[in-house]
Amino acid sequence: MTKKIEHIENDVPTLRIVPIAHKADSEDRQKSIMEMQLQMATSSINHEYARLQFDGTGDRDKREELLIYMHDCRIKYFEAREVLERFDPSAVLEFEKDLMKQKIETMTEYNA
């Protein structure tokens, strides 16, 4: 950590602690986190839409195709989740909570 003195109103010094980080590392880390979150969200939503199609069809070949697709979505989701968990385990739980909320709201509107 580095300490930085800042002056605000009436020239009263205040102390702000700023983490030492290389800008590139921070940007790369943030980009990786966003990519993993996007992968999780995309594969989760794709899985849900495939499940809706699966539930709505009696065609055996189509159901088989959808099962394979849903399995692939699940694998991609958990691969991204594993990588994201290495960055910040608590962020995974928070993201999954938000993702579930979005899915419920979106799928409810989609089904209505």
Supply the pLDDT for residue 11.
Answer: 58
Q: How far apart are CA 105 and CA 108, in angstroms?
A: 5
> What parts of the chain have a pLDDT lower than 70?
1-25, 108-112
Degrees to nearest 5, angle at CA 31 with 78 and 17: 115
Handedness of CA 89, 93, 99, 100 (dihedral sign): positive
Q: Decide if 10 is inside a domain.
A: no
Q: Decide if 78 is inside a domain.
A: yes
Note the pLDDT tens digit of each residue in 39-69: 999 999 899 999 999 999 999 999 999 999 9
Q: Decide if 6 is inside a domain.
A: no
Q: Decide if 91 is inside a domain.
A: yes
Supply the pLDDT for residue 111.
Answer: 52
Supply the pLDDT for residue 20.
Answer: 47
Q: Decide if 3 is inside a domain.
A: no
| Number of domains making up the chain | 1
Q: How far apart are CA 61 and CA 58, in angstroms?
A: 9
Domain carrying residue 84: 28-111
Supply the pLDDT for residue 25.
Answer: 57
Supply the pLDDT for residue 16.
Answer: 53
Residue 14: CB partners within 8 Å, gap ≥ 6?
5, 6, 7, 8
Strand, helix or coil for residue 73: helix
Q: Decide if 7 is inside a domain.
A: no
Supply the pLDDT for residue 4.
Answer: 46
Q: Decide if 2 is inside a domain.
A: no
Q: Decide if 16 is inside a domain.
A: no
Q: Which amino acid is at 58?
A: G
